[in-house]
């Protein structure tokens, strides 16, 4: 079958960011299907295409994927209005393709929620099968965070969410809370599959080349956060921890923040102002470089702002990268990720806004590196047995293929 796949922020392993769509497209091709991927130009990512844009678009083959990339720049550091405008421009460019491309199934993955609009048109105007993948609940999450307060915008997004879910023949949720949120909109759970993010063992576990940034000494303890520096991540909490470690004179414990985002500059200013030498900032890196950095680190940090909607409604890429690399994880909020860590004894989970306890755990871990070996083994086992990307992508493809019988 021919799949027309929309993911505005598509990234290959050669760039920084989640590679779920790349892995799923590759699995479709492995099963004998054809995939046309449609994306924008994600800053920090790498689509695999290097040819120049012609009239705002370029097209080519990337590892068997027929890729259409629009020259629509998007960055996590952009403001709300600029990002919203980029979302709408992507939709307008994408709508043309549903009438010009040949395909059997249209697949769209959020975020943003607007990614589902081409699927709505394809179903009702062309009678095509439409599958929608929900990575975050919109507008529930931005509303809970206080990012969107305008009642008219929230109402319109609620309407779009309802129409998208009702138009899709099948849906996929990446976390238990997402599946529950979809079902609460009147969708039968028999039409929703829970397929979380996965672990790229071929990248993170198979022979990475360890390395450390120059400011970090060979014997320093590295607690790494690798992800977006945005409002949702609540990274000021880590600077609070750094201040506590500074008071304790633990210069050997380094908190390494890798990535980009809207709040990175503000975080750097605070770290400089407070002379927090134990906080190290590093720019985004591709998956292969990240694998080497994780293999040289001691512990992964899973950090989010204290918003209850996050507890069961997110499927963070970084957590799965950490356990794929065999890292123990320190998580600072309750929910399904916390429950996994506790059940499988692959790290630590604490309540939000507790820098003293956070620092206590980092101190213990730095002083007991050998005892972390037990947690490392558990992380690797969990990655291999329950969140192996190859196994999850097979489940994903079977769910997509099953839509043909509807």
Return d(Cα 168, Cα 144) in angstroms, integer: 25
Give the pLDDT score at 84. Answer: 82
- What pLDDT tens digit does each residue of the chain (406 aa) get? 999 999 999 999 998 889 999 999 999 999 999 999 999 998 878 999 999 999 999 999 999 999 999 999 888 777 777 878 889 999 999 999 999 999 999 999 998 889 999 999 999 999 999 999 999 888 788 888 887 888 998 899 999 999 999 999 999 999 999 999 999 999 999 999 999 999 999 999 877 899 999 889 999 999 999 999 999 999 999 999 999 999 999 999 999 999 999 999 999 999 999 999 999 999 999 999 999 999 999 999 999 999 999 999 999 999 999 999 999 999 999 999 999 999 999 999 999 999 999 999 999 999 998 889 999 999 999 999 999 999 999 999 999 999 988 7
Tokens linked to 158: 């609620």
Strands (E), 63-149: 65-74, 105-109, 129-134
Q: What is the pTM of this model?
A: 0.94
**List of residues 6+ apart from 405 with CB closer than 8 A:** none
Helix-helix angle 317-324:373-385, to 10 degrees:
110
Return d(Cα 122, Cα 130) in angstroms, integer: 7
Give the pLDDT score at 341. Answer: 98
**Under CATH, domain 2-198+388-405 is a member of which superfamily?**
Glycogen Phosphorylase B; (3.40.50.2000)
Q: Which residues pair with 221 in a beta bridge?
A: 253
Tell me how far the alpha carbon of residue 168 is from its chain's centroid: 22
CATH topology for 202-385? Rossmann fold (3.40.50)
Cα–Cα separations (whole angstroms), residue 351 to 220, 249, 307, 357, 406:
26, 24, 12, 9, 44
Ranges in the chain annotated CATH 3.40.50.2000 = 2-198+388-405, 202-385
Phi-psi region of 335 (alpha: psi -120 to 50; beta: other; left: phi over 0): left
Give the pLDDT score at 391. Answer: 96
């Amino acid at each position: 079958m021919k799949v027309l796949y929309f993911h505005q922020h598509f990234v290959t392993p050669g760039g920084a960011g989640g590679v779920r769509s790349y892995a799923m497209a590759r699995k479709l091709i492995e099963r004998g299907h054809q995939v046309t991927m449609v994306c924008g130009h994600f800053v920090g990512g790498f689509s695999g295409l290097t040819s120049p844009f012609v009239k705002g678009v370029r097209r080519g083959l990337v590892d068997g994927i027929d890729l259409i990339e629009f020259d629509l720049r998007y960055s996590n550091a952009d403001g709300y209005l600029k990002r919203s405008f980029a979302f709408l421009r992507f939709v307008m460019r994408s709508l043309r393709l549903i009438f010009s491309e040949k395909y059997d199934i249209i697949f769209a993955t959020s975020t943003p929620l607007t990614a589902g609009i081409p699927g709505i048109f394809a179903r009702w105007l062309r009678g095509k099968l439409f599958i929608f993948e929900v990575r975050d609940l919109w507008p529930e999450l931005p509303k809970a965070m206080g990012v969107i307060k305008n009642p008219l915008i929230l109402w319109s997004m609620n309407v779009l969410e309802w129409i998208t879910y009702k138009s899709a023949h099948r849906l996929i949720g990446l976390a238990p809370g997402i599946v529950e949120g979809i079902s609460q909109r009147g969708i039968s759970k028999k039409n929703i599959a829970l397929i979380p993010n996965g672990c790229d063992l071929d990248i993170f576990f198979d022979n990475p080349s360890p390395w450390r940034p120059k400011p970090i000494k060979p014997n320093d303890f590295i607690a790494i956060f690798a992800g977006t520096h945005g409002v949702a991540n609540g990274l000021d909490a880590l600077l609070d921890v750094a201040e506590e470690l500074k008071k304790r004179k633990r210069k050997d414990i380094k908190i390494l923040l890798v990535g980009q985002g809207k709040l990175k500059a503000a975080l750097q200013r605070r770290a400089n102002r407070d002379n927090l030498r134990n906080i190290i900032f590093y720019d985004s890196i591709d998956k292969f470089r990240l694998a080497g950095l994780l293999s040289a680190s001691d512990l992964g940090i899973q950090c989010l702002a204290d918003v209850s909607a996050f507890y069961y409604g997110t499927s963070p890429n970084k957590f799965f990268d950490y356990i794929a690399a065999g890292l123990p994880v320190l998580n600072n909020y309750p929910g399904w990720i916390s429950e996994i860590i506790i059940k499988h004894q692959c790290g630590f989970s604490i309540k939000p806004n507790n820098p003293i306890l956070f620092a206590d755990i980092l101190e213990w871990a730095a002083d007991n590196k050998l005892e972390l070996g037990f947690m490392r083994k558990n992380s690797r086992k969990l990655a291999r047995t329950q969140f192996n990307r190859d196994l999850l992508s097979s489940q994903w493809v079977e769910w997509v293929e099953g839509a043909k019988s509807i």
